[in-house]
Amino acid sequence: MTDLDLAYLSIAEASDRIEAGSLTPTALVEAVFARIDETEPRLNAYVRLMRDTALAEAQAATLRAAGGQRLGPLDGIPIAVKDLFDTAGVITTGGTGSYVDRVPTDDATAVRLLRAAGAVILGKTNTHELALGGTTNNVHYGATHNPWNLAHVPGGSSGGSGAALAAGSALGALGTDTGGSVRIPAGFCGITGHKPTYGLVGRGGVLPLSPTLDHVGPMARIVEDCALMLNALQGYDPTDLDSVPTEWQDFTLDLEGGVRGLRLGVMPSMLTGCADGTRAAFDRALATLAGLGATIVEVEPMAAFDDWSSPTAPIIVTEGATVNEPILREHPETVGEPVRRRILRGLDANVHDYFRALEFRKVIEQRFEAAMGPGGEVDAILLPTALDTAELIGDSPEDERSPVDKFLTTRIFNHTHQPSLSVPCGLDGAGLPVGLMISTAKWRDALALRIGHAFQQTTDFHIQRPGL
């Protein structure tokens, strides 16, 4: 295999080859770094490489494999980490000028768990500043480019992770998701991203934006790889006040269960304004799942409410301003003007509006749980990940406000705290990826992954490569 072929292996494929002795972690990591050297800095997916430690970790994994002592399927697998996760001894900035010299002493919980599973940490990927935006146009570190068309954004805020996976410069990646920041880059870059149930994956050591809405999730090229990563990432985190103690489960066990007999819901109200190319790809995805034996029905969990998006708007700006208050008050000039202008509104937020927003979020959660929980109308809800594909970098408004409705589909499931998965489902007329989003009731992550895996077993969108 060529270095490029190695770089585009799935985690599952690479792990099988390492287990069989036909591939060493050292050779795999070297191939991925060769790909990074080919694509950076014009892609600008990475802001910081950890080449020396990564090669040392790969060599250690190679020795374990040779001795029949692999730690598991992630042992020796090269993983990228969003620059929101603390990495011991390595600068972690959160994409802001406020933290250019910030060097954590400990790994974030998710990074620590990946290292414990033998994963090789390649480096830190670019993020929208303070994770508050959907483009990854970072004023401090530059814009990240979409591998499918360098003139377009990769989505955000985990855009560096999404771009790296699409370009073959990582086999897996960590992202965070507060309003779609794992799933939007997954949709825009033609890869797979999973936002787990709130509380399933610990957020310790991750720079927060909105603790009520923040999630940590795996990103990869296929669903099976996200399941393998989730196996390592799950678990109670005492440093995360919202972490929930749960019994460990193997998220790969039910992947082959298929969709026959499942009722999959579509919300017509959420398709208003959907771009033609996106809608066409979405409709074809529905037909594919119906052909596999699923029943597609309409569902509207919020039918009783005329406006159920605006009331929750105060949550993210109020909490974002609060967690970042020290830098906003003392060094506001270190935050780029677009993000600063948006987040400063939260410092003077009305406490009554914030309280009402928190209460209404619970109403949304309750209604979506009723729709998809035991005895509900459907087993899952399907939507386009975004209502349009990736915009041109130059067309992205600086305050990130005008395209917000494009991402209403992802934001819903941060408010419901339910698992939500984005898988590639085609290209629009301009050759840009379209994402299919699959969401289920809380703690039914395995079902969302199973539906996504079934879709990927009968389509090839997840193995298509951009002509970078």
- How would you classify the pairing of strands 420-427 and 137-138? unpaired
DSSP state letter for 390: P
The conformation of residue 152, written as its DSSP 8-state character, comes to: B
Query: Which positions are annotated as active-site residues?
Result: 82, 157, 181
Enter the tokens of residue 153: 């954004």
Rounded to an integer, what distance in angstroms lies between the CA atom of residue 413 and that of residue 382? 12
> Cα angle vertex 343, ends 341, 346, to 5°?
120
Which residue, 391, 302, 318, 378, is CA-closest to 350? 318
Q: How far apart are CA 270 and CA 268, in angstroms?
A: 5
Separation between Cα atoms, residue 459 and residue 152, nearest integer Å: 25
Asked whether 221 and 443 are in contact (CB, 8 A), the reply is no
Question: What is the C-alpha end-to-end distance of the chain, expressed in Å?
Answer: 19
DSSP codes joined into one string, 323-388: HTHHHHHH-GGGS-HHHHHHHHGGGG--HHHHHHHHHHHHHHHHHHHHHHSTT-S-SEEEEESSSS
CA atoms within 13 A on the CB side of 185: 45
Question: One-letter amino acid identity for 429?
Answer: G
Sequence-distant (6+) residues with CB within 8 A of 264 are 286, 289, 294, 295, 296, 297, 378, 379, 380, 381, 382, 451
Q: How far apart are the C-alpha atoms of 459 and 129, rounded to whole Å?
A: 35
Within 13 Å of residue 379, how many CA atoms lie on the same side as its CB?
17
Q: What is the rounded (10 degree) CA torsion for 37, 38, 43, 48?
A: 0
Which residue, among 290, 275, 300, has the nearest Cα to 434 in the 3D structure?
A: 275
DSSP per residue, 68-105 = T---STTTT-EEEEETTB-BTTB---TTSGGGTT---S
